[in-house]
Amino acid sequence: MTDFTHLDKDGRVRMVDVGDKTQTRRIAVVAGRIFMEANTLARIMDEKVKKGNVLEAARIAGVMAAKKTSDLIPMCHPLNISHARVDFSFDVKNHAIDIEAEVSLTGKTGVEMEALTAVSVAALTIYDMCKSYDRAMRISDIYLKSKSGGKSGTYTAK
């Protein structure tokens, strides 16, 4: 039977104690997509959305979300992240925006949840700003592309 790190011997949920872990440089990169109608994508690309610059608002929201992850995810450690980046690229053929976040720090626990949260909230912000044009937008394919640092070492998605 696997020992669950977030449960004590009596099965109660707990925050993992990372006090004895070694501080290392930790980086996580996460990707995601939001699909939409062609005319919605064109509005975003041409900065013609009445609520303002969609991608800059989504970038700010994503970075802010990375910094607030421990307020949203139970038992997630509050981290003093040193860097958060959220970038976008257009997939005109598939009427989508690709979102990528990178979060890093030097610390005792990883930043995967912070990068996942950044991409998720950036996508939600795009949806929120464009829903009056396109309620059928679809957020998908949010996944960990890579992580480095810590005892488990490097991971790269295949």
> Residues with catalytic annotation?
128
What's 1's DSSP letter? -
Residues facing residue 101 across a β-bridge:
30, 86
DSSP structure string for 94-153? TTEEEEEEEEEEEESS--HHHHHHHHHHHHHHHHHHHTTT-TT-EEEEEEEEEEE-STT-
Tokens of 103: 């979060």
Q: What is the CA radius of gyration of the chain?
A: 18
Distances 57 to 10, 11, 22, 74, 155 between C-alpha atoms, Å: 45, 41, 36, 26, 30
What's 13's DSSP letter? B
